[in-house]
Chains A and B, each alone.
Chain A
């Protein structure tokens, strides 16, 4: 059931980004994508396996949003914006994945998550490993948008 799987990730993303980066995301209208491509400037991607399913979850940030998060997390301590953004997005994706999986395990759904991969590059695209439709939830923040995408099969 995709909805039941997706909800904990949405909640975790809002919690983690709110707590760690002091940014309040506002969820938009979820939609289905017909292709398996996630598009964004910085994307954190984790693969998930368990419950006879496998899938992936990605969080794709716009550049502005990713930079704003890093600034909020590190303050004036930014050494190298590129590697700091990469690090922060990886860390946030990891926390979201962890928190969401903990939420799912309370419902008896146990998933293993891979270490996040971070992909950077203006308007890059990555592929989810799935033939089924991808559910995407767009978020708006004062610093720019990000999108969470799920696919399970």
Chain B
């Protein structure tokens, strides 16, 4: 006599108790009874749901029944068995499931079959999933791609490459097919020289979303990606070289620093925006060789590059290096003024504190500091002088100008710390109170908090929310319909600019630029 006899006549509590017991015991003896209830439900949703759970539990302990159930004439039970085969990863179910996958026409069930196979992960599974790489249903194709990555199926590489190249930039700047995403991730998961080299060659993918996914994947791959990125230093176009430097910087492996230093030695980084990216990357890595190269960077004349150099040195300042910087500033020539200015503008407080110990250098830094009109810079350095706590520092502190209160505000968004420092510098010079944001979302948060900016400067490619989306949102915000927006970008492709123009950008400026050029542009946009 089975517990399930006369089940329909029992009251709710009894039914629930029995089903709970069966779920707990997973006893196969109850399979026929549960099947009967599955085909003839009680009509009470709660109880019927528990029947399914109990059935699932019993099936979990009975691989043969599951495999048999894959042929069931009852489609609902068949689906349940497909799921159970996957959930409990029954290896013997793989073969019948693979056969079913070949003939199944119902899309939902096909997805169930493949999802179950993915969980079982049979040894020869690569072949099964490969057949679905080009499936019309993007979700199914995405699943097949994910598995191609999991199996490191080299025969799938050709499909995956095609999927990466297929995403169309013109359709929408913020959209990217899920198949492109999964193909990129699968190529990264394979991690073969061929797949990594392909990703590296596509760092400047025409679709910004795909580009970011590729960047993230290469950063995730870490050291193995570096040797495939380095050839771009010499062979890539400007955008590819910049992105290669950025990624190597984010990977932050010592190996990457050597390649960057070689890139400088071989004269690959000639354009100033590439130099900027290369120094910024070296600054993130910070090996001894890299630091020596950064110290050489103190000879740069471009203010922006110099700020990247100083930001990097600030991060890794070691005594030997401090001495060199100190000597450079102490010479008192034009170059030393530029370096002192960069230390102040980058808010390199650690460097400042060390360099200040030398009286001549300290005096040179103070000259630059007094020129600043930036309230935050003045406050920060003033606090640092106070903290140093010598008679000289306290006296110097009193010589700092009082920050002027600005009447106009400016909003600037950029994911580069040194770019933000530069904007801050220029904007305060022009008498703006700067609102600084590391990405579009942070920038938009100012607007949502009710801040109003008379002018907006934004980068194009930023994490979280990019420049184009920020501009789109600003244009839809009350009071921001006609505010001048300047987009600063390294993008040389005109297609990207068209998209940005459509989203409402007033004017463009290409990185890098001389601070005067930015000032002139801002004044022009503000009507003098």
Contact = CB atoms under 8 A, between A and B. Distances in A.
A34 B111 contact: no
Contacts of A30: 138-139, 177-178
A34 B138 contact: no
A3 B180 contact: no
Contacts of B140: 3
Given A1-B143, A102-B49, A32 B213 contact: yes
Interface in B205-246: 208-209, 212-213
A149 B249 CA distance: 32
A32 B146 contact: no
Contacts of A133: 181, 209, 213
B174 interface: yes
Interface string B124-151: 0000000000000011101100100000
B476 A34 contact: no
Given A108-B87, A133-B213, A34 B177 contact: no
Interface in A1-58: 1-4, 6-7, 11, 29-37
Contacts of B52: 106
A121 to B, nearest CB: 10
B86 A107 contact: yes
A37 B441 contact: yes
A106 B82 CA distance: 11
Contacts of B108: 7, 11
Interface in A69-88: none
Nearest to B82: A107
B158 interface: no
Given A34-B209, A37-B469, A1 B138 contact: no
B185 to A, nearest CB: 9
A37 B441 CA distance: 9
Given A7-B139, A37-B469, A106-B52, A32 B175 contact: yes
A30 to B, nearest CB: 5
A32 B176 CA distance: 5
Q: How large is the interface on B (under 10, 10 to 19, 20 to 34, 35 or more residues)?
A: 35 or more
Given A4-B143, A6-B139, A102-B49, A29 B177 contact: yes
B79 to A, nearest CB: 9
Contacts of A105: 53
B66 interface: no
B208 A34 contact: yes
Contacts of A29: 138, 177
Contacts of A33: 174-176, 209
B56 interface: yes
A34 B462 CA distance: 10
Contacts of B213: 32, 34, 133
A4 B178 contact: no
Contact of A135 (B83, B118, B178): B178
A74 to B, nearest CB: 24
B457 to A, nearest CB: 20
Given A37-B469, A106-B80, A32 B181 contact: yes
A8 to B, nearest CB: 10
A127 interface: yes
B441 A31 contact: no
B40 to A, nearest CB: 19
A112 interface: no
Interface of A: 1-4, 6-7, 11, 29-37, 102, 105-108, 123, 125, 127, 133, 135-136
Interface of B: 49, 52-53, 56, 80, 83, 86-87, 108, 111, 115, 118, 138-140, 142-143, 146, 172, 174-178, 180-181, 208-209, 212-213, 440-441, 444, 464-466, 469, 473, 476
29 contacts: A1-B143, A3-B111, A3-B115, A3-B142, A3-B143, A6-B139, A7-B108, A7-B139, A29-B138, A30-B177, A30-B178, A31-B175, A31-B177, A32-B181, A32-B209, A34-B176, A34-B209, A34-B212, A35-B441, A35-B466, A35-B469, A37-B469, A106-B53, A106-B80, A107-B83, A107-B87, A108-B87, A125-B444, A133-B181
